[in-house]
Amino acid sequence: MSSTRLHWHMNAGTADRKSFDFVGGVARTNLIFVVNDLELGDAHVNAEDIADTLLAAGCWLYGPTAPHVRRLQAGDNVLVYLAGAGRRYFCASFVLSGPVESKLPRLFGTVGDLLTRTFSASSPITGVRRWATPVHIKPLIQDLQFITDKKNWGLHFRQSVRVIGEEDYDRICREGNVVR
């Protein structure tokens, strides 16, 4: 199956480049899902446990205000970025394998319980690759096009879902020794 790439510039007040991969007539988007610690009342779950739980369950969860969620579709490529002090690295990749739905999967344990009480939508994932070595963002900042403000680069990871271009997606995957 051959693919054709088309680059499209978003015009919604950002300079982000959205990249599509057309495979079988379906446009794929390249994304970063940003994971941070979660606190709900007295409960605290760290970003690593959240990512591990969701990757193991074969699903991803979203809040009602997560950006770009309405546009997510099967075939979209995702990089997982763990944010916060002592982290700031990519640790996994996967492909969305179904639509975002208001139906939540059954997740077990303390982390699973907290996640299903916090988030309201989910989508199935496939092709999960946990990277043997985390890819820290700092050495890549100058090379990544979606980071337009190199001095205040952390601002580009403030939203939970981030659209990135094909070149940036491939650059990060190469650093993680991940071949698409």
Q: How far apart are CA 86 and CA 55, in angstroms?
A: 21
Count of alpha carbons within 13 angstroms of residue 44, beta-carbon side = 3
The correct CATH number of 3-175 out of 3.10.590.10, 1.20.1260.10, 3.40.50.1100, 3.40.50.2300 is 3.10.590.10
Is 114 exposed, middle or buried, given 0-12, 13-18 or 19+ CB atoms closer than 10 A? Answer: buried
What b-and-e string marks burial along 39-76, b requiring 16 or more CB atoms within 10 Å of the CB? eeeeeebbbebbbebbbebebbbbeeebebeeebeebb
Q: What is the pLDDT of residue 97?
A: 97
Percent of the chain at pLDDT exceeding 70? 84
Express each pLDDT in 107-132 by its tens digit. Answer: 989 999 999 999 999 999 999 999 99
Express each pLDDT in 127-165 by its tens digit. Answer: 999 999 999 999 999 999 999 998 888 778 888 899 999
Residue count of the chain, please give it: 180
Task: Answer yes or no: are the C-beta atoms of 38 and 50 closer than 8 Å.
Answer: yes
Q: What is the pLDDT of residue 11?
A: 28
How many CB atoms neighbour CB 95 within 10 A? 17
Total-model pTM: 0.83
